[in-house]
Amino acid sequence: MTAQLHLVKLSVGTEDVDGLAKWQASRAAQGPDGLPRHVTRMWPRRESEVLTGSIYWVIRGVIQCRQEILRLDEVTGTDGIRRCAIVLDPALTRTQG
């Protein structure tokens, strides 16, 4: 069985969990399948472990929620550079402080 590996990401410019949900519901934050995604420059080295984990979102200096990682998609930016789109379950699960 593959171990779970979770990611911790800063949600820059987000004031609260509702703000993150609104951003992810926008067309700009969604992939062609309508699912929210977070695009990053680097492809995870431990891909199989990341695919069983979640992203924990840091909002205003505190981990406030998490989302399950569904898959990793390769995307190419307008600059021609290959990037990783972390495709997320739309459900945000609040964490306890």
The CA distance from 1 to 42, in Å, is: 25
Percent of the residues in the chain that have a pLDDT greater than 70, as a whole number: 98
Nearest CA among 51, 42, 47, 41 for reference residue 79: 41
**12: exposed, middle or buried (C-beta count within 10 Å: 0-12, 13-18, 19+)?**
exposed
* Structure confidence by residue, pLDDT tens digits, 20-62: 999 999 988 898 999 999 999 989 999 999 999 999 999 999 9
Token pair 């700009």 is at which residue? Answer: 28
How much is the pTM? 0.89
H or E, element range at 47: helix 47-50
